Amino acid sequence: MEINLNLRQLVLGAAAVCLVVLLAVVGRAVTPVAEGSPVVLTPERWEAAALARKAGAEIVRLEADGGALHAMVAADPPDAVQAMLLAQRIYAGQRTGTAATATARAALVDAAAAVARYAGGGLTRQAAIEAVNAALERIQALRGQAMNRIPTD
């Protein structure tokens, strides 16, 4: 009886086994677990998770833009050119997004316009503060945590 060992087939077999083990380890690490058991990701759950990630990224951008508006209206008097540039950047960045953040995006765009009008002298400071606070409340409702509000006079 003669045994032939082909080194090429042996290496290919070992590589296939390593690939299967690697896929199993990665799959175990990234599989979501609910109540102690793995959850099968159906296409609907996959899409829902993708939308949740997208909405989370939008909320982060909303918070950053809201913070910039907060700082702009807190400066007394704000720089009119910087306020206009900020309003244009917010409008351009918040035109599209998920339906979950639509009301907060609209409130933020309105607040940016109010701050720009206030900086240009076309609106009272109190009205701009109220618009920014309304936008921050909408963003806070999405995140579920407190954000700094501007005290009203």
11-70 pLDDT, tens per residue? 999 999 999 999 999 988 887 777 788 888 788 888 888 888 898 999 999 999 999 999
Q: Is 70 exceeded by the pLDDT of residue 145?
A: no
What is the amino acid identity at position 124? T
> Picking from 27-36, 68-77, 101-110, 118-127, which range would have the lowest pLDDT averaged per residue?
27-36
Residues whose CB is less than 8 angstroms from the CB of residue 73 and which lie 6 or more positions away in sequence, other chains included:
115, 118, 125, 128, 129, 132, 150
Q: What are phi and psi of 61, to 5 degrees?
A: -65, -40
Q: What is the pTM of this model?
A: 0.70
Contact 66, 89 (CB under 8 A): no
Nearest CA among 87, 96, 102, 100 for reference residue 56: 100
